[in-house]
Structure 1
């Protein structure tokens, strides 16, 4: 798949809304069903000037997105991120290219030592992707989220860059 990773723009809101409302995306995140366009648009907006928001584009269409959100103060050495991939292209390397771009920015441009996130323990595809990029499971948050009528666990995962 010919894919371009670029900065997210205002014209990407409809594509992000479509991805956000797919059942597979919702199942792997804290998203609720039936969220409004405005709610999703605000969720995808940078929260600070330091945030990086990316889109994976194929054939002129946004098929994935990611964000890198650095922390502040005593956690300024760390950041969190999210990745979203359209159902139609899952398994075609979109998540890998987005995560590679997030890691490159974190390591080589904003000097992030610790990159972290949580992931549902049953999201094997995402866990495999994160491990491929050097993330390790640091622990389990039991009953961390209510999803599909039950409480589910999440792993906290992180990748530590070796300080130069």
Structure 2
């Protein structure tokens, strides 16, 4: 019996952290992936400057996190308080 672990049995464990302004380029690349906007009324692409503005405008009503794997942003999520 081998004591080594096969790559398929290793768990991928991304790290979750708050969004940073420096994440704009990586997030923009995710937002512009084929199929990301499918079924929405959003524009078909987004520029890095637009993502930078969105990050900068995030206030106390928004909790925005990114998932990082091996130092690379691979996902995101956010929660927005709507009303009181």
TM-score scaled by structure 1?
0.40
RMSD of aligned residue pairs (Cα, Å) = 1.9
Shift of 1:46: 4.6
Q: Alpha-carbon deviations, 1:71-90, whole Å to 9, x = none?
A: 23xxx2xxxxxxxxxxxxxx
Q: How does 1:9-24 map to 2 (within 5 A)?
A: 9-24=20-35
Q: What is the aligned partner in structure 2 of residue 124 from structure 1? A: none
TM-score scaled by structure 2?
0.71
Write the distance in 2 (CA, Å) between the matches of 1:46 and 1:54: 15
Give 4+ residue runs of structure 1 displaced > 6 Å after superposition. Answer: none
Write the distance in 2 (CA, Å) between the matches of 1:7 and 1:29: 25
Give 5+ residue unaligned stretches, structure 1: 77-164
Q: What is the aligned partner in structure 2 of residue 53 from structure 1? A: 64
Q: What is the aligned partner in structure 1 of residue 52 from structure 2? A: 41
